Amino acid sequence: AVEAAGDIDVLLLDKTGTITLGNRMADEFLPAPGVEAKELAAKAQIASLSDETPEGRSIVVLAKEMYGLRAREAQAGEMEFIPFSAKTRISGVRLKTSGTVIRKGALDALEKELAAQGGIMPTPVRRSAEDVARRGGTPLVVAENATVLGVVALKDVVKGGIRERFAELRRMGIRTVMITGDNPLTAAA
């Protein structure tokens, strides 16, 4: 192993949890035109009630902190949770009484879902999502049925000292390559 390590000239690293802390947290609600930020926060919170990921829990907390929103426990029995899957890249809830579906997910994944329902991704929402990604965050688009409500900006923090460690590896002649499933704009940032 020591001999093999001496021959290494490229190091491949996963982004989430290796280069970054890996616990993306909701940071901001960016509503679509004509939608109040509080409404976006409320719907994102409902879509996240059964989401046990750090991202999902942080959306519930941010909605509560920013707008005093507290989802009723009784609502949980009235909802059918739509779990996240790597194939759809969407999660959310279906309200049993009304049939309303509230989803959150990646821009391109939600855009395909909306197109299947006759909806479209508003240009301002696309711009908001791209801006979040350019800043290094992860945009989650939120929609109720075929209506896009806006974007939840998730942030992930680069680990302290990682740039210096990579610089040292480069000085040693070792190239570092980041591997990620994030969209290209987030990865570039």
pLDDT at 184: 81
**Residue with the two structure tokens 């279906």:** 94
pLDDT at 76: 55
130-154 burial, b for 16+ CB within 10 Å, e for fewer?
A: bebbeebbbbbbbbbeeebbbbbbb
Would residue 9 show up in a list of annotated catalytic residues for this protein?
Answer: no
Average pLDDT over residues 157-183: 87
The tokens for 176 are: 């570092």
Is the pLDDT higher at 96 or at 124? Answer: 124
Convert the pLDDT of each residue in 4-52 to its tens digit: 778 889 989 888 778 888 778 999 999 999 999 999 999 999 999 888 8
The tokens for 20 are: 């970054």
Q: What is the mean pLDDT of the chain?
A: 89
Spatial contact of 27 and 153, defined as CB atoms under 8 Å apart: yes
Is pLDDT above 70 for 74? no
**What is this structure's pTM?**
0.80
**145 — alpha (psi -120 to 50), left (phi > 0) or beta?**
left
Average pLDDT over residues 74-101: 85
Q: CA-CA distance, 17 to 110, in Å (whole number)? A: 25
Average pLDDT over residues 78-88: 88
Out of 7, 14, 51, 131, the active site residue is 14
Indicate the pLDDT class of residue 75, thresholds 50, 70 and 90: low
Is pLDDT above 80 for 58? yes
Strand-pair partners of 28: 153
**Chain Cα centroid distance, residue 68:** 22
Q: Sign of the CA dihedral 34, 134, 182, 64?
A: negative
Helix (H, G, I), strand (E, B) or coil at 65: helix
Spatial contact of 44 and 141, defined as CB atoms under 8 Å apart: no
Average pLDDT over residues 180-185: 79
Convert the pLDDT of each residue in 134-144 to its tens digit: 988 899 999 99
